Every structure is written in structure tokens, then in C-alpha cells.
Structure 1
Amino acid sequence: MKPPQLTVVGSINEDITAVGNRLPAPGETVSTADVRHSPGGKGANQAAAAARLGADVRLVGARGNDGAGLRSLEALQAAGVDVSGVAVVARPTGTALIVVDADGENQIAVAPGANHEVQVAQTLSEAPAILCQLELPLATTVAAVERATGFVALNASPAVPLPTDLLDRCDLVVVNESEYAAVPALSGARLVVVTYGAKGAVAFRSGRSIAYAEAPKVEVVSTVGAGDAFCAALVVGLLEGLPVPDALSTACAVGGAAVGTSGAQPPLRPLRDYLAADATTRTARRTVHGRRRTADQ
């Protein structure tokens, strides 16, 4: 079967990550055991994940003419992403400053840099599907969605007030629990998937719960890339024709795999591997525990 085609319009950052025993409180300094530089940015992370999961992915973004930009580009190419839509601009490549504690929880501050220079071309209208986030200026995301003629997915993160026209055009919106609470308009969106960390994820259609998926029990190294891997897997699954409950549970399996690695662009396997593994797990649960709750319960 031909892989689904996906155009990601989003950010490219270099992540500077400090790993310590705990996160600092306001005004506090804590010592860290390790500092590392790695490729990141929600757009780049989701593009890399979708490509590794088996989609034909093109990224529209911008990077600086600097070492961080070159390293980010090389990482995307290694993941199999078409980077012909990544422009080189005068601003430095975006940077994310991340602190991760011993439980894998994190705090993130982002300097957008080149991400503020992303330009959306008219040719975006030819893309069968697009995936956007909110690390670019909102006007850029709105322009991308307005030009899209195919499937439109939006990872509405970080949370900001969103125009009604933007939400009405989206076929899928993905947020975490706090983002869902911060944007009340999402309750009326066509299809919204809300992630609840270790508690799993729920899909809502026009405000009504239609599917629930458990999160796998895994050892957490870092949660930095989990949300982006989940989002990419959900979009790829839906584009491959999976029903919403199956796409949701498979995305949870992919997110679980992502938290077991330290980088924001984990070395994922093809989506079918996680679909098969998730089906096996669900069969085992039914055998041991009896009737499992349905999507609408």
C-alpha cells in the first residue's frame, strides 16, 4: 500500500536539555547531572516521527544559517523527511531550554528565532494532508490551514485563544489535558483528542466521548518527545484508514515507546509494529480481565 502523504508546517529547534534529580522552584537553582544538545521543535519532532512510522513526509519550516540549523536538518534527513520546504533565514535557529527531572517530567522555555520567518507557499493547497502546531506565529498557522484543501490536523500546543474559523476547518485537533481546559472553544470542535499522560487519551466528537485508550505501563526516561510522537502516530493512523479507537490506542503505544528514550525525536519503528503490539495487549487484557469497556463507555 502506498504510504500516506503528510506535510508538516511547524517549528525547528535545537533542544538544550539539563537532566537533574528535580525541577527548580521559582527563583531556585538546582544542579544537573548532564547537559546535551539535540534536534527538536514540535514541527520537526512530529515530521521525524511520522516519517519513521512510515508516512511520506515533507516539512515546511525555517532554520538559521548556523550549526544548530545544520544539525537539525541532518537529523530530519536521517529520519527520512523531505526538507525541501525548509528555508534558511537570517535569524538563528530556534532554541528550546529544557529541564528534566528524575521522573521524566520537564519544564521548557523556547526562543523561536527562525521559526518566526516561516512562509507558507500557495503550493500547500496541493498537499493531501497537513499537520500544524502553535510554535509558529498564529497568523502563519492560520494561513496554512486556509490554503489547505485536504485533511487538516492541528496540535493546539502551546495553548492560545484560537479563531473559530480555524477550529471549524480542522478535521482533528490534539491537545493535552491542561490545553483542553485552557481553550473552551475546543469542546465544540469536530474531532478532538485529549491526552492525559499516564491515564491515556480520549477522543471527543463534537463534545461527546467516542473512544478511550489506556497508556502502556512503561519506565519513563523523558516525556519531552512523547506528545509529538503520539500526535504523529494518531495522524498517520487516521490517514492509513484506521478507525478512531484503533488509531488512538496505537498512538498511545507509540507515545509509550517515546518516553523510554531521552531525545525528542526517538527511533520509532513502522506504525504497523505498534498496531500489532497493541492488538496483542488488548487481547491479553480481555482474556485476563473479561469484558473491556467500549469506546463510548
Structure 2
Amino acid sequence: MSKKRRTITLLLSLMILAITLSCSLIPQRVRNLFATATPTSTNTATATPTATATPLPPVSLTTCPFEEECDSVTAVDDYLEEDLNFNNPNYVQIPYNQAIWIGDYWYAADDEYLEEAISHVKWFFKIDGQDYFQEDWPQYGMMFSYVHEEDVPAYQWGVILDGWALGDTHRIEAGYVLDADVDDGWGDFKKGDGYTLTYIIEAVELPTATPTATATETPTPRPTAIPATSTPRPTATLACSINSSIEIDNTTGGYLTLNLSGPASFNFNLGTGVTVLSVCPGTYTYDAWGCGGAYDHGTIGSGESHEFYCY
């Protein structure tokens, strides 16, 4: 190799070395100006759904499924001044310092029918539109059916409402709807059957009754009264419009149990006097028990009136 070529080669080597050294001397932050950042994946926060808490009820709410076991309470129906209305709100005034009880039940001919049906009975209990019903409220027990005249298995639930403030007014809705066809051992019920009872309850300071003297009378024997609920209550088979009525005059001197079968099925426990029953239009076959256990059977139509009396 000639001296000239060696000189050129040496110069080129020195230039390459100088360039390399100069690059290594560039500050890190300056070199980064020319670098393309490689995206680094970061964990993105994932929103976790938060359960919406049920608001506290406006009054104290305590479960008590069996009314007879609830101390110092009065059923709300006992404050009704008129018959229980299934079509419109029932306006009730209660003493603000008195606990009241509201409940419901479903019974069947035997345990098998009961267990098959109960999962399809969708109860609700609303205060001012908010549903507070809990699935563990219904409790199993035996109850006496005055219609069938025997003890039958049932699921019952009930709640005590207490802690009312003077002047409070609340809307209470209680009832159920069936989410499937069911059979209680005596009859069939269709999906969608059910009912809603609505109460507008006002807590007031009711006046205390002042006893007045009354004439002493010699008691007259009366037929044995059949225990019953304080107000008529129909069963749930209501697949028709309740826009007609039947007038019943109970002159038996005691409670009357009336079972109607026709366009819909109804069970009523009636006190003495005249009661107007809200029913679906049509003709019904009735079964009636009263007068200490006497039985009567016949037919009656909507828009008619009928008197029950003891011989």
C-alpha cells in the first residue's frame, strides 16, 4: 500500500472515531429529543358497580309473621271505618303512638301443593313507593281455614310499623303477583293473578272515648260466632274486572263465612249487618257457614242482594 493511501485510511479512521466519541458525549436529555418513545401499557382503572342501598323506611319496621304472637299491636284493618277496598286506596287514621300490623299469607291443601306454589308467589310491601319486602319474611306454619274447616299449611308474613310522628302520612302497598300458573289443591290460579291493597295512613292524635252509662239489659242467647278476620278479604283469582257488587245482609247474629265460585273465586268473612261485596259481574255458586256451624248452598248473581239468617 502506498504512503498516500495509508494516510487517507488513517484520516478516515480518525474521523469515524471522532464522530463516535462526539455522539456519546451528547447529554441524555438532548439525545432523548431525537428518540421516539415506545408506548408503555398502563393499567386502566375498571369501574366496579356499586350496589344501590335500600333507603331506611320512614317508620320503624319489625317482622312478626303471626299476628297473634305480636304484642301490643293492632291490625291496620281494625282502624278501617268502611269495608276493605281492593280497587281504591283505603284511608286510615291511626294513633301516632300506636304500633300497627300488616301481613298476608298463602295456604294450600297440603305441603306438596304449598311448596310447589310458594316460589311463584311474588310478594311486595311498599312504603311511599319503595319496596321493603324481604324473601326471608314468609314463615311456615299451620293456620285454620274457615272455608275448608281444617288446619292447612301456610306461609305467612307480617310487619309491625311503629315510631310514627304526629301528622305523618304514608302510602302503604301490600300484595303479590304470581309469576306462573299454580294449584293450591282446591283450584287453579293463573300467571299474573294477584292483588294490591293500598292504604293511605295518617298518624293522628285520636280522641279518647269517654264511657257513658248504658241501660242494663238481660243478654239474649245468640248463635255461636265463627271467628274471622275483621274485614272481608277475597282470594287471588281476579282475572276479571271487579266492577259489580253483591249486597249481603247477615242477620245470623254472628260471623258468616261466604265462599263464592264463578267468574272469579272469593272468600269473605262477614260481620253482622249489611255488607256490599265488590265482585266481578256474573253468576256465582255460594257456600256459606254460620249459625254455630250451619251450612247453606245456592246461587247468587252480581247486582243482587241476599239475606242470611238462622232458623
Please indicate the TM-score interval, normalised by the length of the shorter structure. Answer: under 0.3
TM-score computed with the length of structure 1 as normaliser = 0.28
TM-score computed with the length of structure 2 as normaliser = 0.27
Higher strand share: 2
RCO (CA 8 Å, sep 6+): is it higher in 1 or 2? 1
Higher helix share: 1
